[in-house]
Amino acid sequence: MNFFEHQDRARRNTSLLVFYFVIAVLGIICLVNLAAYIALAQAGFGQPTFPQWITSQPFFWSVGLTLFVIVSGSLLKLWQLRDGGEALADMLGASEILPDTESPDQRRLRNVVEEMSLASGIPAPRTYVLSHEQGINAFVAGYRPSEAVVMVTQGTLAELNREELQGVIAHEFSHIFNADMRINMRLMAVLAGILSIGKVGEFLLHSNRRRGFSARRSSNSKNGSALIIAGLALMAIGYIGLFFGRLIKAAISRQRELLADASAVQFTRNPSGLAGALISIRNGQGSLLDTVHAEDMSHMCFSTTVPLKLNSLLATHPPLDERLAALGPDWVTRANVRARQSNTQSNTQPSAPTSPTAADPRVAGFSGAEGCASNGVDASANAPASHADHSAATPSAANRVGVIDAAQLGYGQRLLESIPATIKATLHSPAGARQVVFALAILASQSDRHELLKLLSLNPQDGEQLLALADSIDALGSRLRLPLLDLSITSLKQFSRDERDALCTKLNQLVQHDDKINPFEFLLLVLVLEHLNKKSGRARPVRFRRYSQVAGDIQLLLSIIVFSGGARDDDAVALFSRARGSLLPPGRTLLPASRCTLNALHKALRNLRDLTPLLKGPLVDTLADIIVADSKIQVAEIELLRAVCSVMDCPVPPVELPR
């Protein structure tokens, strides 16, 4: 199952979630009406027969109010989480780990996240810490892969070493690419509605208590008793709703956790990191959370957040021993050995090799082809790309989208290490990241540098510093331009709304100054606009389910990609004809070069991003086929592909080109 199939499955699971929600609501309505029937009888309003009750006005009021409470609870939670992971971080009171943090533990986490994001082709997610949580846990949240946030507990930072932390973050990145985040956010909203009935019951009980003991002795004692009965009944129904809510979460979550473990091993090719983290939870701090939102988040986290009875039925995660056994047959034994060790040895790492192979029986469960197939993971994703077909630019490019392997992770680490310390320090502040973006725009433009500086309204000293920064970046070569941009976006998100808008305006002026837009300028502008606009973190609907609905947009995109590789005249026509395949009807031919502008492409991509996921995969494959048709991969082609895929929410791993 590749990235696009995971995305489609998640959308289908959302439909299944709606079905579960409807069933739960119907059950709650029946129980609420039974409670109302009993409460009214207790209050002295008579004892109507069942046929009389279901046709009475109180019955319809009861149904309407119940639906109103449940739907309002869900809609309110959806509204609170409308901005995705950042909204959830605010709700939890999480503290952002800023790029310039001086904490060694936090700096280590940011390095791991940055390496993995560079390897996968997405901007580094914003990273948060739950500073009051001592259990070992983590989760990702958001509606789009490129707009995810990563949150970890303080216990995770304090208790895990770098290898274990990398295993946990790889697990969470797999949730990003497996499209689990979106349904997790939806699930929080659905369960908030189901549980809202219990909160109404608590309100009724508290209201009755405030009336005092004397009120119960008055002529309204029957009404008071009715409120008590109704409150207790609604609280009981709320707990029943909680039970069924946990059933829904368990049905959706358990297998996804095993899949995420499998993907994490594929990403790192090192099961000892993930196993070490699981053993630390099993034998040490545990993973439970103290926050009042622990129940709401139980399906999102790396491990269990709340204690459960009926664990085999209601747990959102498989037992730790089951997860360890899936990593290899001797990890449970190692966990037991570590449990018997003294406190001074409790943090000792397992002695498994740090670079195991698929033949190693300890990792046969997930690392080998057989194990991956049994867990729904494409084993071919483990194979390193050859020189001719690196990363996204392969005949099966769609299978490389949203995939990290050991080779890509190593490349991400090398990219991060290649950035000079002075430029890294500049990237750590929003103001510095803005200067890096402006420097990249100046390097890409054909306009006079001093004319561009006038657009920025800088004083002479700041202007000279910006030009010096541009020269330093230019000396690094073109392969670091995109990583610098990805790392800049994380810092730029700390800007206020007005500062973001001002940055986007200035950048657009720089790019448009010479009336020409090259592929890197297009990529620069698209990425900044996509990630800094006010709706960047929100979910996007599927509007198109057939290629015919966006045929003109696909025709323009294929034509631009054909011309970007240098093909002209008959060669360009032939390449377009081979590439269009089943994407376009016979009447759609190569557009004239004069119509293939990047400004027009930006408008077309706003439609293509709303294709159903299963239609995006063949489109990405076709783009990659065009790029490798001449057996050459040019930087401009890769930058254009990255821009297209970024708008369509398709994380493309970087291509390691010869220097």
Catalytic residues: 172
Residue 93's closest CA among 132, 148, 147? 132
How far is the C-alpha of 499 from the C-alpha of 291, rounded, in Å? 33
Residue 265's closest CA among 333, 167, 179, 169? 167
3-class state of residue 580 by DSSP: helix
What's the Cα-to-Cα distance from 634 to each of 20, 407, 479, 519, 630, rounded to whole Å?
Answer: 49, 21, 11, 11, 10
Q: Which residues pair with 522 in a beta bridge?
A: none
**Residues sharing a CB contact under 8 Å with residue 605, sequence separation 6 or more, in sequence order:** 526, 553, 557, 644, 647, 648
| CB 252, CB 20: distance < 8 Å | no
Round to the nearest angstrom and report the end-to-end CA distance of the chain.
34
Structure tokens at 192: 């908030």
Plot region of 183 (φ>0 → left; ψ -120 to 50 → alpha; else → beta): alpha
- What is the secondary structure of 205-254 as a DSSP string? HHHHHHT-HHHHTSTTHHHHHHHHHHHHHHHHHHHHHHHHHHHHHHHHHH
Count of beta carbons in the 10 Å neighbourhood of residue 206? 10
Q: CA angle, 128 as apex, 127 and 129 as ends, to 5°?
A: 135
HEC-encoded secondary structure of 331-390: HHHHHHHHHHCCHHHCCCCCCCCCCCCCCCHHHCCCCCHHHHHHCCCCHHHHCCCCCCCC
Edge-to-edge strands, sheet with 126-130: 95-96, 126-130, 149-153, 138-141
How far is the C-alpha of 243 from the C-alpha of 197, rounded, in Å? 13
- DSSP classification of residue 501: H
- What is the secondary structure of 434-468 as a DSSP string? HHHHHHHHHHH--S-HHHHHHHHT--HHHHHHHHH
E-assigned strand segments in 400-534 = none
In the chain, the amino acid numbered 39 is A
Plot region of 124 (φ>0 → left; ψ -120 to 50 → alpha; else → beta): beta
Burial class (CB in 10 A: 0-12, 13-18, 19+), 99: buried
In the chain, the amino acid numbered 209 is R
Q: What radius of gyration, in Å, describes the C-alpha atoms of the chain? A: 28
Q: Which residue has the tokens 């360009």?
A: 572
How far is the C-alpha of 607 from the C-alpha of 616, rounded, in Å? 12
Pairing of strands 126-130, 149-153: parallel
In the chain, the amino acid numbered 471 is D
**Residues sharing a CB contact under 8 Å with residue 390, sequence separation 6 or more, in sequence order:** 633, 655, 656, 657
Residue 383's closest CA among 400, 361, 364? 400
